[in-house]
Structure 1
């Protein structure tokens, strides 16, 4: 932060740094340096014989912390703090200018002040003594603040820890935390630019932000290089969503053919070189093959498409027939077409140029053995990274005794051949199940995104069995580095009826005792899934016990608002009103938050009051200490008076709580919450008529977000990229 303090020592302040003693000038420079580094600092102002000190902080939380500290270090003996609580005098031009600074500013006057001519005025020596006491106290306090060790919540982290948090953030659909993790990884410089580009695409795909995938700054480079199959799948999904999805969903084959002609050339050789796993992959690869006239690729896709969806092969054949009315309506056999002008080797070379390495390998296995066949087979095998196809290539090379030929004429293929030997002889990793089972051992390691991209997610049944029977030590290690696992299996937890799975993961996070942004956003997401599945009273109480432990490990002065978010989430359900565990949980959160009460903001306090009223409990008044009586909690939201607002999220706890707080702060506000699915007439009417529409993108399907955006037109829409009512209220406060 760069702030110019020259005006502070100008008009309205008799103190000039260049005229004060050298020791005092050094003190001023130290305070200014701390403020510039987003710390806490103090600067003096003298005018007409009176002396004030101004405290500067970078956040409202820091300002409240300063006030609390000043109560102890300066107090009523030497200041007007008990009466004015650091408030600026807005009628004073000097203070009015400070109020416009990008800082949180407070002030207090040093007492007693000298009143010349008054019989009861303190002596000059008494006034000078108080000024010296305050200066020395602030110097000591400033030194302590500057030298205190960094909180573990802000300590440097390893690449592994940040990657784990990135997985949690993607699983929780929290764009803000995910992007913060990505920036942290970029700053570490442990990963090269290519790996960072892969991570960005994984992040965008996890958030279903297909436009970000296609417009990534490195997309052109990624399209021309060898890349993991998973990255190709992400690009294919983005291409499908942007150019083909609408026509494919409508079953309009002619429009699909028209759309592929509009596809930019750099996306044409977009084959993943892996068996089909999704409709998007099948449609994209087939349309590109039709456009390129790659019959072998068309044959392969038609043969594999039936395993994706029963009607998909017929859909693709219709496209082929529209492109060439003479094409057969039946799937051709996957044999090389008879041709007098192109040899099998030439066809394989042409397919290699298209990037369809899977078809190249299948064709190369049928051509005459030689160095050309060896080159194609080894290159494709390494690209495909398939155990089955690697075995076929190894068998082909051994059967035709091609090793001596490779050694003699193609030494540059030795690397591929060595890789083939190692790959075919090593035991392939068993995927997510093996990784989870390895958590039983102390040497268990976090999952690497580059490796896990090759693994197939577990079925809901297999996942349930693993979590249900996992011992505590395994769950604890899972809580330490299960972020990538959660990102890969998010859909299982979102599914209705997964309350027991969410409770098991909460147990793992609690026993792992890890504090991180990833754990915090994952906790909120799991509680949303958990409550949506209507848990039993016993399961509800158990989840509260585990969440209590997570809160204790993750609450600090900078995260206490998150703890209040959790309190609001878990009590925004009818189950809380009748379950005694909710009251116990309420007081546990309050006790955990109490040491950080100066970091609570006014909307946090309003939220606590609402929860206390619902649970028939007394609001803990001591939490409000440090907040001035004249502070208006409704001020940031006053502009919403008289407007019609809709808060949209598929998980309603956050929108329900945010609406409650806004109704209390701004009486008469017209506010609705919505969890309608995209395309409903109710959602269409809400989107079309609301003055302001808030979409919690972290808990909204991409189609719903697009639907709302289309219906809104030019009307204002606020997109909230994190869960929790505080995120909604923060975005609304900022307008």
Structure 2
């Protein structure tokens, strides 16, 4: 509210100018707080009763404020346990307030017409607002270290939670001491991890990134984005003419993405080849690249070979009867010339391989150093380092040669032990208690080779309790690099060990909360044994106890819904233990739960053949839980996700709230006739981006034919219901 007349007008019998001076001053102070986007309170009298409205600038702070009001005012002097701060839908005064971006909370002072109750509540709110205004930053507002943010970022990437990942990036941009180039590289890694090709190709710093030297891993990710945007369909068609036409459509500024040494994936191989093809590279070089592609796939090699220009056979003059012509003298091509030609053609890896055979001189060493920096291959860099030392380049560098000095500094950092550790050494650091190595730089670990499942299973199973806790504390980057193992059909045991790490670490960060829901969804999608489920749920109970607060209560509901999706008899006792343990934690935080959250809890309880305790059953007179979803009544609603637990739960809640609603769930892969039909015919199509492949996303959008898609960028049924409630 920006002025007295907006709140103290029709529907409110209070006129601040008629109040005692101290009360008028309090109201003016609260109005100023609202204008400054702070927590504040305003009174309203109507029909002889007194109501207070609590204003918060954000939804998060609103949930926290509910918890504070519950503790400070509570059932003694208010209807909070019953109304839960909801606006009254039949009150025109409240209807207008409900249009605010963050509507205020409302409660009535009880006992009605009690001067003692009214005075006590007013004095309590004055004290509470002063304390809130002067308190130090909470864990949600206090600046965090770069290591903490990066760990949460890793969890967000692993879980596919775009909202949390982008929040972490913004936090790094605001408070971290990362160089602009490193932030740009990190942003590309994050968007690649989330499968957001559009974000990569429209990155605000992409032009600068393309013009600078960058890690080979970043180049591969950019090549992957180019492949997915311009080449993937032509590649699937296996038509060389179509592939050539697709390559010609690649914008000129993206044709700098060459130089990856020994590409190991189809996208990089194809982009490297086609960009060389567009530059009219030598036929011999193209033929070599096509043949090298055979290590990836025979069909890829054969496809690329069809685009190699015919290499003319050398003329055979042995039978000619013509008089020999005197040829003009040819300039002899020296090894240095050959080296420069390879460099000019962007053949960095071949230039290094050729140059290493030349005499070790400072000029050649400087060229090789520059080349190896372009594609950042560790083994090749070690060979170049030895060549540099033999050539005496370090001692020969002119004090004014800033480029060579910078290349030498890069070489030293690139070959540093921390960069070469790898994930096995990271596990060793966890066991040794080396906090520095355990919290390795995300930009470093992103280039480490992924471990296979058997190695990960063995390492996780043999971690000591102390090392397991350190893994829970610093495991974000590890989980980001190995997310495919945990989401696989046989990943349940791996998920259980990570949940154990979170539980024994006691960590309750946003990243841990996001990852917990993701791991439970992965388990629900697999076929875990009863013992694994029981152990995982016991760890989950401990995580819920550590991480649930007034502002994370709906997360705890998501955890319960994800954890109990598997068949009811499976680990039933453990499910009951988790449910009632979570209810004990949520009991003092009930004001933070929405009606849809309570409906979700009731659903879980009924599926487990039990019932919610009586204190979790609220009077619906002050709000209809179905109200935000009534617009869906006559619509066909489709919920899409590759992990079905959240969409299943959201659909169940919607069916309970709106009997007869036509809501369908699907986990079909891209290209299926069923997904095409659902995409085309749904009135409302909801896609959980955290669990959707890029190809499926594009397929759905294409079949929607311009009709909107509601994209949910977080996991859990609450996120789906929240997006639908907001329309």
- Rounded Cα–Cα distance in structure 2 between residues aligned with 1:528 and 1:86: 32
Query: TM-score, normalised to structure 2's length?
Result: 0.88
Q: 1:451 aligns with which of 438, 444, 449?
A: 444
Please state how far the C-alpha of 1:538 moved relative to its aligned partner.
1.1
- Rounded Cα–Cα distance in structure 2 between residues aligned with 1:411 and 1:657: 60
Gaps of 5+ in 1: 114-125, 329-338
Q: Per the alignment, do residues 313 and 656 of structure 1 end up closer, same or farther by CA in structure 2, a change over 3 Å counting?
A: same
Please state how far the C-alpha of 1:232 moved relative to its aligned partner.
0.8
Using the TM superposition, name which of 193-202 and 371-380 deviates more: 371-380
Please state how far the C-alpha of 1:349 moved relative to its aligned partner.
3.2
Is the contact made by 1:153 and 1:515 (CA closer than 8 Å) also made in structure 2? no
Which residue in 1 is equivalent to 2:537?
Answer: 544
- 1:147-174: CA deviation from partner (whole Å, max 9, x where unpaired): 5555435543211111100000000111
- Rounded Cα–Cα distance in structure 2 between residues aligned with 1:607 and 1:48: 36
Q: Per the alignment, do residues 314 and 549 of structure 1 end up closer, same or farther by CA in structure 2, a change over 3 Å counting?
A: same
Identify which of structures 1 and 2 has the higher relative contact order when contacts are C-alpha pairs closer than 8 Å and 6+ apart: 2
Please state how far the C-alpha of 1:556 moved relative to its aligned partner.
0.7
- Rounded Cα–Cα distance in structure 1 between residues aligned with 2:549 and 2:37: 18
Q: 2:157 aligns with which of 170, 186, 189?
A: 170
Is the contact made by 1:457 and 1:489 (CA closer than 8 Å) also made in structure 2? yes
Q: Does 2:289 match 1:301?
A: yes
Q: 1:620 aligns with which of 594, 613, 637?
A: 613
Q: Per the alignment, do residues 526 and 451 of structure 1 end up closer, same or farther by CA in structure 2, a change over 3 Å counting?
A: same
Q: Does 2:521 match 1:521?
A: no
Please state how far the C-alpha of 1:21 moved relative to its aligned partner.
6.2
Please state how far the C-alpha of 1:554 moved relative to its aligned partner.
1.0
Q: 1:358 aligns with which of 340, 346, 349?
A: 349
SS in 2 for 1:440: helix
Using the TM superposition, name which of 242-251 and 154-163 deviates more: 154-163
Gaps of 5+ in 2: 314-329
- Rounded Cα–Cα distance in structure 2 between residues aligned with 1:87 and 1:501: 42
Please state how far the C-alpha of 1:476 moved relative to its aligned partner.
0.9
Is the contact made by 1:46 and 1:52 (CA closer than 8 Å) also made in structure 2? yes
Is the contact made by 2:688 and 2:715 (CA closer than 8 Å) also made in structure 1? yes
Which residue in 2 is equivalent to 1:317?
Answer: 305
Aligned residue pair count: 704
Is the contact made by 2:521 and 2:646 (CA closer than 8 Å) also made in structure 1? no
- Rounded Cα–Cα distance in structure 1 between residues aligned with 2:550 and 2:579: 19
- Rounded Cα–Cα distance in structure 1 between residues aligned with 2:518 and 2:301: 38
Query: TM-score, normalised to structure 1's length?
Result: 0.87
SS in 2 for 1:270: coil
Which residue in 1 is equivalent to 2:104?
Answer: 104
Using the TM superposition, name which of 40-49 and 297-306 deviates more: 40-49
Is the contact made by 1:499 and 1:534 (CA closer than 8 Å) also made in structure 2? yes
SS in 2 for 1:693: strand
Q: Does 2:197 match 1:210?
A: yes
Q: Per the alignment, do residues 28 and 341 of structure 1 end up closer, same or farther by CA in structure 2, a change over 3 Å counting?
A: farther
Please state how far the C-alpha of 1:681 moved relative to its aligned partner.
1.9
Is the contact made by 1:67 and 1:85 (CA closer than 8 Å) also made in structure 2? no
Which residue in 2 is equivalent to 1:666?
Answer: 658
Q: Per the alignment, do residues 473 and 487 of structure 1 end up closer, same or farther by CA in structure 2, a change over 3 Å counting?
A: same
- Rounded Cα–Cα distance in structure 1 between residues aligned with 2:711 and 2:399: 62
Q: Per the alignment, do residues 14 and 326 of structure 1 end up closer, same or farther by CA in structure 2, a change over 3 Å counting?
A: same
Q: Does 2:456 match 1:463?
A: yes
Which residue in 1 is equivalent to 2:318?
Answer: none
Q: Does 2:248 match 1:261?
A: yes
- Rounded Cα–Cα distance in structure 2 between residues aligned with 1:401 and 1:442: 40
Is the contact made by 1:269 and 1:355 (CA closer than 8 Å) also made in structure 2? no
SS in 2 for 1:208: coil
Q: Per the alignment, do residues 268 and 415 of structure 1 end up closer, same or farther by CA in structure 2, a change over 3 Å counting?
A: closer
Which residue in 2 is equivalent to 1:68?
Answer: 70
Which residue in 2 is equivalent to 1:713?
Answer: 705
Using the TM superposition, name which of 159-168 and 520-529 deviates more: 520-529
Please state how far the C-alpha of 1:441 moved relative to its aligned partner.
2.1
Which residue in 2 is equivalent to 1:430?
Answer: 421
Is the contact made by 1:40 and 1:55 (CA closer than 8 Å) also made in structure 2? yes
Q: Per the alignment, do residues 3 and 493 of structure 1 end up closer, same or farther by CA in structure 2, a change over 3 Å counting?
A: farther
Q: 2:527 aligns with which of 528, 534, 538?
A: 534
Using the TM superposition, name which of 80-89 and 137-146 deviates more: 80-89
Which residue in 1 is equivalent to 2:228?
Answer: 241
Which residue in 2 is equivalent to 1:440?
Answer: 431
- Rounded Cα–Cα distance in structure 1 between residues aligned with 2:301 and 2:85: 73
Is the contact made by 2:525 and 2:645 (CA closer than 8 Å) also made in structure 1? no
- 1:413-454: CA deviation from partner (whole Å, max 9, x where unpaired): 355456657877969723111011111122323121221133
- 1:173-196: CA deviation from partner (whole Å, max 9, x where unpaired): 111111111111122142232222
Q: Does 2:688 match 1:686?
A: no
Which residue in 1 is equivalent to 2:327?
Answer: none
Please state how far the C-alpha of 1:40 moved relative to its aligned partner.
3.7
Is the contact made by 1:361 and 1:377 (CA closer than 8 Å) also made in structure 2? yes
Is the contact made by 2:39 and 2:55 (CA closer than 8 Å) also made in structure 1? yes
- Rounded Cα–Cα distance in structure 1 between residues aligned with 2:166 and 2:532: 34
- Rounded Cα–Cα distance in structure 2 between residues aligned with 1:82 and 1:424: 61
Q: Does 2:210 match 1:219?
A: no
Is the contact made by 2:3 and 2:31 (CA closer than 8 Å) also made in structure 1? no
